[in-house]
């Protein structure tokens, strides 16, 4: 164990988490590992500096250094994404989303987004979330034929309901979006086009996915996913939205921001502009495609027939499993995934009929496309085996041992 706090109980928990990670494969699509530089910035003296406001206009003294840190992060974000405007203050991707609502909508306004049970995100209209309580959510979906977004349905809904905001993006949709078509629809319906690029931003930075910047009125980013930054958010937009978005972040949504996270974002944005970062993202996407293909060869169906990105949704109904049970069996084998629902799933969301997989973390651990068939073998064997004792010597224990024996990346 390398991290020490001086608190024995917390140190023990840190050690347990480090051990869990070394003894399992992390296939959580929204997780990755920040670089040593990002971790250093997060643990720096900036952690304790209060800095309400913006550079040059703070509500606290002693902000001359953090002003420079924030300006540096802004400049790097703008250059990385070719964006006229960047706000690096949001404390999370969800907080960035709240600011978008605050900037462009009023309570009760209709907002059109991808259905939550077909890949959308809870901040796009879940009744359990502020977005579904404070606004009037409308949802488009995917086609039954290919499980890809039905852009004709998007247009029809937008023209009938005239939403204030049209949202593109989600948590479990593995295909690229047609931003040009969405821009046309937004123009026809006279609404704001918001691209929630929480999962896509790292791919855009690496040149693997098309940028939404030429099409969107506003783009939000979670800096802690594929981008490998600290947990936090980012807003990108044309310059004409600067004033309304700045006011929406501060003072409407947040007070003092996490300056250590902003320092970490500055490091991450610089790293994301390197050839090494682009190579990591290309490998993560290639791994997702290879793993999807290998699972298909072994009899499992991948939603939409595959993936364009670092994530995929795997249908487990052919094994007569729920998503919850599939997640439990894989966890017993040291393969960590999220339960998920299928488009048009007949099971409740709490159970689901699928699992969501993602390859950023295993890519950073050193796995390549040549390793995906073996990983698929482990996944299928674990899914087909009921869970016994974790130490009963059965298939789950054997797979855990093989994972532990993998060379470090």
DSSP state of 225: S
Q: Give the burial string for 15-29 (b: 16+ CB within 10 Å, else e).
A: eeeeeeeeebbbbbb
Q: What is the distance between the terminal CA atoms of the chain, rounded to a whole angstrom?
A: 18
Torsion of CA 133, 165, 238, 71, to 10 degrees: 10
Q: Give the burial string for 371-407 (b: 16+ CB within 10 Å, else e).
A: bbbebbebbbbbbebebeeeeeebbbbebbeebeeee
Rounded CA-CA distance 46/95 in Å is: 21
DSSP state of 106: -
CA distances to 6, 28, 36, 55, 123 from 69, in Å: 30, 31, 18, 9, 29
Strand bridging mode 218-222 / 110-114: unpaired
Secondary structure string (H, E, C) spanning 178-217: CHHHHHHHHHHHCCEEEEECCCCHHHHHCCCCCCCCCCCC
Strand bridging mode 110-114 / 165-168: parallel
Is 116 annotated in some ligand binding site?
yes
Identify which of 368, 367, 378 has the alpha carbon closest to the alpha carbon of residue 406. Answer: 367
Residue 168 burial (CB count, 10 A): 30
Annotation: binding site: 116
Annotation: binding site for (6S)-5,6,7,8-tetrahydrofolate: 116
């Amino acid at each position: 164990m390398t991290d020490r706090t001086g608190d024995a109980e917390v140190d023990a928990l840190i050690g347990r988490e480090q051990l869990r990670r070394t003894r399992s494969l992390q296939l959580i699509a929204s997780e990755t590992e920040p670089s040593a530089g990002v971790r250093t910035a997060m643990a720096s003296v900036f952690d304790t500096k209060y800095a309400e406001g913006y550079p040059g206009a703070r509500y606290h003294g002693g902000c001359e250094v953090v002003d420079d840190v924030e300006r540096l992060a802004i400049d790097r974000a703008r250059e990385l994404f070719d964006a006229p405007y960047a706000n690096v203050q949001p404390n999370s991707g969800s907080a960035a989303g709240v600011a978008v609502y605050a900037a462009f909508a009023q309570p009760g306004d209709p907002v059109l987004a991808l259905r939550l049970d077909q890949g959308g995100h809870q901040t796009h209209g879940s009744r359990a979330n502020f977005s579904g309580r404070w606004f009037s959510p409308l949802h488009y979906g995917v086609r039954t034929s290919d499980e890809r977004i039905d852009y004709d349905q998007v247009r029809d809904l937008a023209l009938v309901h005239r939403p204030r905001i049209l949202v593109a993006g989600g948590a479990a949709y593995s295909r690229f979006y047609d931003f040009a078509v969405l821009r046309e629809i937004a123009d026809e319906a006279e609404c704001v086009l918001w691209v929630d690029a929480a999962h896509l931003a790292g791919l855009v930075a690496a040149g693997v996915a098309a940028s939404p910047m030429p099409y969107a009125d506003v783009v939000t980013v979670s800096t802690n996913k594929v981008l490998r930054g600290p947990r936090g958010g980012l807003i990108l937009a044309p310059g004409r939205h600067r004033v309304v978005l700045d006011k929406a972040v501060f003072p409407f949504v947040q007070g003092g921001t996490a300056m250590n996270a902003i320092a970490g974002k500055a490091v991450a944005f610089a790293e994301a502009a390197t050839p090494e970062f682009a190579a990591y993202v290309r490998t993560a996407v290639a791994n997702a495609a290879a793993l999807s293909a290998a699972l298909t060869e072994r009899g499992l169906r991948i939603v939409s027939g595959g993936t364009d990105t670092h994530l995929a949704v795997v249908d487990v109904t052919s094994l007569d499993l729920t998503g919850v049970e599939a997640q439990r069996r894989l966890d017993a084998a040291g393969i960590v995934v999220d339960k998920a629902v299928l488009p048009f799933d007949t099971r409740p969301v709490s159970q689901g009929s699928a699992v969501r997989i993602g390859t950023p973390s295993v890519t950073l651990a050193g796995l390549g496309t040549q390793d995906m068939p073996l990983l698929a073998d482990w996944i299928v064997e674990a899914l087909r085996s009921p869970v016994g004792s974790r130490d009963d010597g059965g298939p789950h224990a054997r797979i855990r041992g093989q994972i532990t024996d993998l060379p470090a990346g």
